[in-house]
Structure 1
Amino acid sequence: MSAGIGTARGTALCVGAVLGPGVLVLPAMAVRAAGPASLLAWAALLCVSAQIATSFAALGTRYPDSGGVAAFTRRAFGDRTADVVGCWLFAAVPVGVVAGAIAGARYTTAALNAPARTALGVTVALLAVVYLANVVGLHLSARVQLVLTAVLIGLLVAVVVAAGPRVNLDRMTPFAPYGIAGVGSAIAVLFVAICGWEATANLSAEFTDPRQVRRAAMASLAVIVVLYTGLAWCTVGVLGDEAGSTTVPLMRLLAPADRPWMAAVVAMAAVLFTVAASVTFVAAGARAGLSLARHGILPARLAATHNGAPRRSVLVQAAAAALVAAAAAGAPHVITVEALMRTFAAMLACVTLLGLAAAVRLLPTRRQRLNAGVAALAVAAVAALSGQFLLAPAAVVVAVLIRRRRTRPPAPPHPRAGDDLSSLHPYPTAMTAVLR
């Protein structure tokens, strides 16, 4: 896509960046962790989401750059911090993609009324489609991504409209069966639901007018708040405790017994969006690996491309996803979708935290810095609530520091004729891949 997107398209792209496959399972996970008090977790995170969106919109307006958080942290804190952020993104993608594939497979299995073991085959098929698409260099166009975003929004609106009249306030009691600890646990897992606001900053260079960045951020924030509030309210008020025991909450909300055909519609939409979002994120992760290799953090062999496509980096991502999927299949009661989502959330919380810290350092006005600082403190609290799942981003930090001590990163190579210049940008993100 060429530069020149407006507020409407920017809003749709930002909404698509925040809404991901996690929406298929996160509301139920929150109920499992906190009961009806998960509504408090949603409220807290949506308030934090507003501050995060505002801070990244301010960064994007002042420093138009498609490099995302890594570009801002490089500007604020230097190469070492940017390398850590890039590695967090590179490591998080296989975890999140496998979690999304498992969730989509469960919806498909439920729609087909197939045995539970069928979900493993569907998961493998979804992952194969996602990674093969990236190996051959297929990228979703912005127009296709917008259509898929509209489909997802339509699905969520249909869920809220269909389930709203069946809300029963009696299901709200007992309100907090697991106490404040349960609310904290729900906040930690739900953080995935509000990730993606850095897309506002990533898109900033594409707007026809920098002032449209803030407008798009605020409009997309309004859409996200309405959708998530309605979905959380219906999940608690209609399913109650049952929400914590189902793996397909949206299907339960939209497909009552007298309309079983709706289950297939939900399953098809879930699979379609899971594949679409995952293709985009794998493309972003693979290009992050390409840039990390060119900066000397990952082996130089990963810097090779084929017709501009980072195939070796994609294959490394595919191998990592295969390991995660095999581990999940071998120990399904230990490496659950919830555990994968929490690990994914812990890494993204760390990425967001550093992005907000960069905003505190880079933004010009005291009000903007204060807003970013408050958001950073809130995200730090969310990261702390991740508990043992913080071991994953901590391990990445250790690995990066060891790698930097052993090899001094070379200067990025000068582009040659025919090079894909976009791959030289430090750590392009999902929205960069969409716009390409």
Structure 2
Amino acid sequence: MTVLDVTRAKRPHSAAGDTGEPGAAGDTSAPGTTGALSVPRGVALYVGALFGPGLLMLPGLAAKIAGPASVVAWAGLLAVSALFALVFTTLGTRFPDGGGVIAYTAAGLGRRTGRAVGWCFLTAVVLGAPVVCLIGAGYVTALTGGGRGATALVAAVLLAAVTVLTTAGARAGTAVQMVLVGLLLAVVVVAVAGSLPHARASHWTPFAPHGWTAVGSAASVLMLSFVGWEAAAPLTRRLADPARSLPRITGIAFAVTAIVYLALAVAVVAVLGAGAAGTVPAADLLRVAVGSGGPAIAAGAAVLLTLAAVNAYMTGAAALVTHLRAERQPQPQQSPETARAAQGTSTRGFFAWIALAGCVELTAEAFGLVDATRMITLTTALFLVVYVASMASATRVLTGRTRLAAAIACAASMAVLGFAGISALLACLAGIGGMLAQRSRRSPSAVVDDAVDAPGHGGQHADEAEPRGQSGAHVPRRLDDGLRAGLLAGAGRQDP
């Protein structure tokens, strides 16, 4: 799960372009103006989009599934991650005014498919928020004691707290989230460097105790740590020269994540051995590295990162659900007060779904009906559907080596999705359900418009006129606005 800094939802306004905040619709500043994002800060924001509290738990789950061979899963996903970085970098520079995975999918596969991808993302947030809270709660109960029931209770408290904060309008700013990312990096560096002297060669045998197919199953869980490369979309709006600086940013960010991921994966296996199958590997490594105070450090970091990550996802997803509903059921011109009330109703309804999912998942966890691995796999499968759609679309709108990279990444994502088992089926059904819902809830004329805007047709709505990219693909303006409002905006909107 990534730690993201999302933009605030576009506030209703009475005058065109008067939104009261930078970067909102109506902001006509072009890249290269004052406040352009520097390469070092862009790297930090990108790394922040990739890292999250899941990194504190996933190495242990992967080791439990595949043993020492889980390192192979990490290495394989890093190779696929490099392809993601290349494709999303190209999409970000090709469509500098585009929005992200929804707009990218719509460009190649049609607007209805793009919206279905949006609903898959929302479903992943609804189901994933309680799972992230379980990660933080696991570190707390590892310190204080308690079984599954206590962990579920702490997770419920964390979910309730972050829901209240998000409903009240609080969100972690860019500076705060960068501090939290730095905290995560510090925890990982201390844990790895301090524990490596205790590594044992015997911990690497047998290398694949559960067979080689377990590597694929481990990859279906670990994929959650590789969601975040789509942050190229909003990042391009703040770069003075995206074509030049974005490849540098993604290259450096990939190198940092590759080193951190592999170092942590190797340390978990080499130092902990059979103990690597635990749910709090960072706490176990810190106990070896710094003594009895290690688990307390890990628990504090896990709680802070959990609150920040869930807050960021809930804020961005709430803005997206408001946008998607407006797309499905356009409303006449409303006063700012009426628009804010309608947006508040949509947001509260979305948070209610998260609360309901939390009750179901955490109760199931408390009674041992479902474990964290199964819940993480389902969330990851939903994100994989989003990535498969993005890469499939990229094969239609890109050319040359990036098109080949997109095709390979799409095939690899589908292969990893296949190892998710029943979770993959449920994720695909969620995407199909999103497409059917969009088709059934829109007017017949709107369905015809969707067909006209699909790949291979030249039509576009008058109110969505948008310059075409170099590929000739159309990126709908309203989809772009919705993503700018907060889907996966890793770059944020504060001034550097």
TM-score (norm: length of structure 1): 0.90
Q: Compared with structure 1, are the counterparts of its residues 434 and 122 closer, same or farther at alpha carbon in structure 2 (3 Å cutoff)?
A: farther
C-alpha displacement of 1:160 = 1.1
Tell me what 1:262 maps to: 294
CA contact under 8 A between 1:343 and 1:390: conserved in structure 2? yes
Tell me what 1:220 maps to: 253
CA contact under 8 A between 2:133 and 2:158: conserved in structure 1? yes
User: Would you say 1:373 and 2:439 are equivalent positions?
Assistant: no
Tell me what 1:435 maps to: 493
Q: Compared with structure 1, are the counterparts of its residues 172 and 394 closer, same or farther at alpha carbon in structure 2 (3 Å cutoff)?
A: same
Tell me what 2:170 maps to: 138
Once residues 166 and 95 of structure 2 are traced to their aligned partners in structure 1, the CA distance between those partners, rounded to angstroms, is: 30
Tell me what 2:385 maps to: 350
Q: Compared with structure 1, are the counterparts of its residues 59 and 309 closer, same or farther at alpha carbon in structure 2 (3 Å cutoff)?
A: farther
Q: Compared with structure 1, are the counterparts of its residues 294 and 21 closer, same or farther at alpha carbon in structure 2 (3 Å cutoff)?
A: same
Tell me what 1:418 maps to: none
Once residues 5 and 254 of structure 1 are traced to their aligned partners in structure 2, the CA distance between those partners, rounded to angstroms, is: 35
Once residues 167 and 8 of structure 1 are traced to their aligned partners in structure 2, the CA distance between those partners, rounded to angstroms, is: 34
Once residues 234 and 170 of structure 1 are traced to their aligned partners in structure 2, the CA distance between those partners, rounded to angstroms, is: 13
Q: Compared with structure 1, are the counterparts of its residues 42 and 115 closer, same or farther at alpha carbon in structure 2 (3 Å cutoff)?
A: closer
CA contact under 8 A between 1:56 and 1:198: conserved in structure 2? yes
Gaps of 5+ in 1: 416-420
Equivalent position SS for 1:382: helix
CA contact under 8 A between 2:100 and 2:480: conserved in structure 1? no
One-letter amino acid matched to 1:392: L
One-letter amino acid matched to 2:488: A
Q: Name which of structure 1's ranges 388-397 and 18-27 shifts more when overlaid on structure 2.
A: 388-397
Query: If each structure's helix is expressed as a fraction of its own residues, which one has the higher value?
Result: 1
Tell me what 1:64 maps to: 96
Tell me what 2:87 maps to: 55
Q: CA RMSD in A?
A: 2.8
C-alpha displacement of 1:323 = 2.5
Bigger Cα Rg: 2
User: Would you say 1:313 and 2:346 are equivalent positions?
Assistant: yes
CA contact under 8 A between 2:194 and 2:289: conserved in structure 1? no
CA contact under 8 A between 2:109 and 2:393: conserved in structure 1? yes
User: Would you say 1:89 and 2:124 are equivalent positions?
Assistant: no
C-alpha displacement of 1:308 = 9.0
Once residues 163 and 491 of structure 2 are traced to their aligned partners in structure 1, the CA distance between those partners, rounded to angstroms, is: 15
CA contact under 8 A between 1:93 and 1:285: conserved in structure 2? yes
Tell me what 2:237 maps to: 205
C-alpha displacement of 1:132 = 1.6
Once residues 342 and 168 of structure 2 are traced to their aligned partners in structure 1, the CA distance between those partners, rounded to angstroms, is: 8
Identity %: 33
Gaps of 5+ in 2: 1-21, 24-34, 450-460, 465-476
One-letter amino acid matched to 2:427: P
C-alpha displacement of 1:95 = 1.5
Once residues 206 and 490 of structure 2 are traced to their aligned partners in structure 1, the CA distance between those partners, rounded to angstroms, is: 45
Once residues 78 and 429 of structure 1 are traced to their aligned partners in structure 2, the CA distance between those partners, rounded to angstroms, is: 19
Tell me what 2:362 maps to: 329
User: Would you say 1:108 and 2:154 are equivalent positions?
Assistant: no
Q: Name which of structure 1's ranges 221-230 and 308-317 shifts more when overlaid on structure 2.
A: 308-317
C-alpha displacement of 1:401 = 3.4
Tell me what 1:407 maps to: 441
User: Would you say 1:385 and 2:443 are equivalent positions?
Assistant: no
Tell me what 1:362 maps to: 397
C-alpha displacement of 1:66 = 5.8
C-alpha displacement of 1:398 = 3.4
Q: Name which of structure 1's ranges 46-55 and 137-146 shifts more when overlaid on structure 2.
A: 137-146
Once residues 94 and 297 of structure 1 are traced to their aligned partners in structure 2, the CA distance between those partners, rounded to angstroms, is: 22
C-alpha displacement of 1:423 = 9.6
- For residues 144-176 of structure 1, give each alpha carbon's deviation from its aligned partner in whole angstroms, at most 9, with x where no partner exists: 111111111111111111121111110000001
- For residues 61-81 of structure 1, give each alpha carbon's deviation from its aligned partner in whole angstroms, at most 9, with x where no partner exists: 111146211011112222111
Aligned with residue 425 of structure 1, among 473, 477, 481: 481
C-alpha displacement of 1:321 = 2.4
Q: Name which of structure 1's ranges 92-101 and 328-337 shifts more when overlaid on structure 2.
A: 328-337
TM-score (norm: length of structure 2): 0.80
User: Would you say 1:37 and 2:30 are equivalent positions?
Assistant: no
Once residues 45 and 119 of structure 2 are traced to their aligned partners in structure 1, the CA distance between those partners, rounded to angstroms, is: 24
